[in-house]
Amino acid sequence: MNGAGNDFIVIDNRFYNFSVPELSTLAPHVCSRRIGIGADGILALSLPEFSDADYRMIYINADGSEGTMCGNGARCLARFAYEGGIPKRSAWMQTASGTCEVCIPENGHIRIYLDIPEDYITSFDVETDLSEQFRSIHYVCPGTQHLVCFITNIHSFPVKNWGAILRKDPNLGSEGANVNFVEVDKTKRLIVRTYEKGVEDETLSCGTGAIASVYSARKCGEITKDRCVVEMQGGQLTVGLEAHRVVLEGPVTHVYRGSFEYLIPDRNIAY
């Protein structure tokens, strides 16, 4: 499945009951675009651990690290769960960063609702020496860590080079951050390109990156509206800022269904 180009291998883990370590072992093999299926990460639909959730999302990055929140992944899993026997158009999803509401309309884009980010730092200082294309850098955490860099000439900007450097800037600590490079056009639409940690590359879109970019743009005065279209390499996402929460909406697409075989070492069984 993919959400605006952000692609995932989606597993019904209610049947397999893979543990997080098992999924982490599996991810680098199946997410490889050269020798595997190819994806930005694995989504596992699992039984909830808490009574206030309808189901649980386990998200594993392509490199095997567990992700705390994935906006596009949550939207994809919401549709997968709805079509897989949890027929609630409004449901609650448990994630590693908390429980969030998801909405599957009869017609239209799938939405998720997250709390307003509490961790925001304007004019975030990095140790990296920057080029003059950088206008300002901000830090925000809408479920996972993000840098938001307002730049010029985004289409020719070397995202992979700068993303790999800034993603591990010492001032971010050991966890690092996803890095969003943002240009605001004349219509106040945001054009965003994101380098994601755990994928260690530019992805075609990033849901939490879109949220982080709009939130930062609103806080620092780059935009004045509370609802904004975000143009990413894989398509458009829309972010709305409400009083106590943020809404992310956009397309979700099934690419194909299939099966693969992989030996889980500790179980000595091929799935």
- Coil, strand or helix at 154: helix
149 part of the active site:
no
31 part of the active site:
no
Of 37, 39, 45, which is closest to residue 7 (Cα–Cα)? 39
Set 31, 70, 141, 228: catalytic member: 70
Whole-angstrom Cα distance, residue 95 to residue 113?
12
Set 31, 149, 206, 228: catalytic member: 206
Whole-angstrom Cα distance, residue 166 to residue 202?
13
- Coil, strand or helix at 243: coil
Q: How many CA atoms lie within 13 A of 10 on its CB side?
A: 27
Q: Exposed (0-12), middle (13-18) or buried (19+): which is 149, by Cβ within 10 Å?
A: buried
Whole-angstrom Cα distance, residue 161 to residue 109?
33
Are β-strands 245-250 and 235-241 bridged in parallel, bridged antiparallel, or unpaired?
antiparallel
- Round to the nearest angstrom and report the end-to-end CA distance of the chain: 20
As given in the structure block, the two tokens for residue 212 are 């982080």
As given in the structure block, the two tokens for residue 150 are 């307002």
Measure the CA dihedral 171/175/178/179, to 10°: 20
Torsion over CA: 132, 152, 61, 91 (sign): positive
Q: Could you tell me where the DSSP H helices lie in 84-204?
A: 159-166
264: β partners: 269
Catalytic annotation, residues = 70, 206
